[in-house]
Chains A and B, each alone.
Chain A
Amino acid sequence: MKRKILLNINDEDYEVEIDPNRLLVDVIREDIGLTGTKKGCEIGVCGACTVLMDGKLVSSCLMLAIYAAGKKITTIEGLFKNGELHPLQKAFLDYGSFQCGFCTPGMVLASKAILEENPHPTEHEIREGLNGNLCRCTGYAKVVEAIQAVAGK
């Protein structure tokens, strides 16, 4: 039985009518059309579908959309505010922290969560925090550099 729920994504309200078996990643991508959130593994291990829910990192591929009702969701599209890149987005550009770009939305959001919890992390803490956000292109070195650069500021 379909249900009407209200999703708050990037500070905008979206009313969607969905079945309980719908996953958050599919509703965000297919119903709302925010395709920055990617589907990589569909079992919660690759991090491509990472979004922030009430400020916390979650895998939207392992989350019933209904669970997101009434929560504040941030996707990669939400980081670009009034014409300005988020400092992490800027750093990812300047340090070449991505190649194919498919893991990048999740990687940027994970980096954001790491810094919000710990503004001055050690390299080890950064790498541990990125654990489970898979990238096959960069070897992570330049992702770590970008995060360190932002933390250093």
Chain B
Amino acid sequence: MISGFELLEPKSVKEACSMLSKYGDQAKVIAGGLSLLLFMREKLYRPKYLVSIMGIKGLDYIKYDEKNGLRIGALTTHRTIENSKTIKEKFPVMAETFHKVGSMRIRNVGTIGGNLCHADPRLDPPPTLLALDAKVKVVGPKGNRTIKLEDFFVNYYETVLKPDEILTEVRVPGSPPKTGGAYIRFSTKTNDDTPAVELAAVVTLDSKKEVLENVKIGLGALAPTAIRAKKTEVFLKGKKFKADILEEASRIVSQEVDPIGDLRGSEEYKKEMVGVMLKRGVKMAYEKAGR
């Protein structure tokens, strides 16, 4: 059973923010509610007020133009993103990633905003969005701010959001030509199991399709938050795509992570697997970029 609470249903972001500032610690935003309800049914969390933003119009959209890139409303469901023509065409790796989230039932209800704000390091979208240099737009009583996603996550289930702030939009810059991406969700039990390693790679090649002009790596399930593998990126940047280079890169990425040994594998195993997945991910991204 879930302990009792008052459900507040603001009709605008502004109203929601004022409710949040009014009740402070006693209140929390709820969107689809999937993750939050799990915490509440375990009685790990007993809020006095839940502020449901599901009734707020105009937070469910996918827009794209060359100049501003991609803009996704916080209440857009995983399913909508997975099936969006725009996203399939412009950011295929995103469509692939969101297709891998939970089950169809979860994707029909879960929202991109809720997913990011829950800040569970083992969820699918963050690594890919990190590798795509995503930003999030946040609205608070004192106005808006835009935060790079890599600065957004703080710790397990913790973000830089203030108690009275709401994430309203996710922004993804357009990708340069000859860019390819790949997302790997490596689980050690069933396909739908919580992954042991998540790796997203986005590769941009030079005009001759030889040099890795730019490489961005997003990782999940390997630290208290989803992270960028900066050292590995720096190492790969400007190098030619070669087996020995990938080998070296896989060693570097293994050192960049700080996994916890758990039901999905030991610390050592996860460190080794992220190396394997890096080689595979970069290769896949490289091949897509070359097309």
A–B contact via C-beta, under 8 angstroms? yes
Spell out A's residues near B (CB within 8 Å).
Answer: 1, 19-21, 23, 42-45, 47, 50, 53, 56-59, 62-64, 66-67, 110, 113, 129, 131-133
Q: A87: shortest Cβ distance to chain B, in Å?
A: 20
B62 proximal to A (CB < 8 A):
no
CA distance A120 to B104 in the complex (A): 18
Q: B175: shortest Cβ distance to chain A, in Å?
A: 27
A59 touches B6 (CB 8 A): no
B33 touches A63 (CB 8 A): yes
With beta carbons under 8 angstroms apart, the residue of B4, B33, B103, B191 that contacts A19 is B4
CA distance A53 to B105 in the complex (A): 10
CA distance A151 to B106 in the complex (A): 25
With beta carbons under 8 angstroms apart, the residue of A20, A62, A67, A131 that contacts B5 is A20
Across the interface, which residues of A come within 8 angstroms of B41, CB to CB?
A: 42-43
Interface residue ranges of B99-115 to A (CB < 8 Å)? 102-106, 108-109
With beta carbons under 8 angstroms apart, the residue of A53, A62, A66, A132 that contacts B192 is A132
Closest to A114 in B: B104
Task: Sample 9 A-B pairs with CB under 8 A, ordered by A number.
Answer: A21-B5, A43-B41, A44-B102, A59-B105, A62-B38, A67-B52, A110-B104, A131-B103, A131-B104
Spell out B's residues near A (CB within 8 Å).
Answer: 1-7, 33-34, 37-38, 41, 50, 52, 54, 79, 102-106, 108-109, 191-192
Q: A103: shortest Cβ distance to chain B, in Å?
A: 13
Closest to A26 in B: B1
The answer to whether A43 and B109 touch (CB under 8 A), given A131-B191, A132-B192, is no
- Of the listed residues A50, A63, A132, the one surrounded by the most CB atoms of chain B closer than 10 A to its CB is A132
The answer to whether A43 and B38 touch (CB under 8 A), given A59-B106, A67-B33, is yes
B105 touches A58 (CB 8 A): yes
Q: B104: shortest Cβ distance to chain A, in Å?
A: 5
CA distance A67 to B5 in the complex (A): 15
CA distance A62 to B35 in the complex (A): 9
Across the interface, which residues of B come within 8 angstroms of A42, CB to CB?
A: 41
A57 touches B38 (CB 8 A): no
- Of the listed residues B37, B79, B103, B109, the one surrounded by the most CB atoms of chain A closer than 10 A to its CB is B103
Across the interface, which residues of A come within 8 angstroms of B104, CB to CB?
A: 57, 110, 113, 129, 131-132
Q: A20-B6, A42-B41, A44-B102 are in contact. List 5 more A-B contacts (CB 8 A).
A: A43-B38, A56-B108, A58-B109, A131-B191, A132-B104
Q: A5: shortest Cβ distance to chain B, in Å?
A: 11
Across the interface, which residues of B come within 8 angstroms of A45, CB to CB?
A: 103, 192
Across the interface, which residues of B come within 8 angstroms of A50, CB to CB?
A: 105
CA distance A133 to B106 in the complex (A): 12
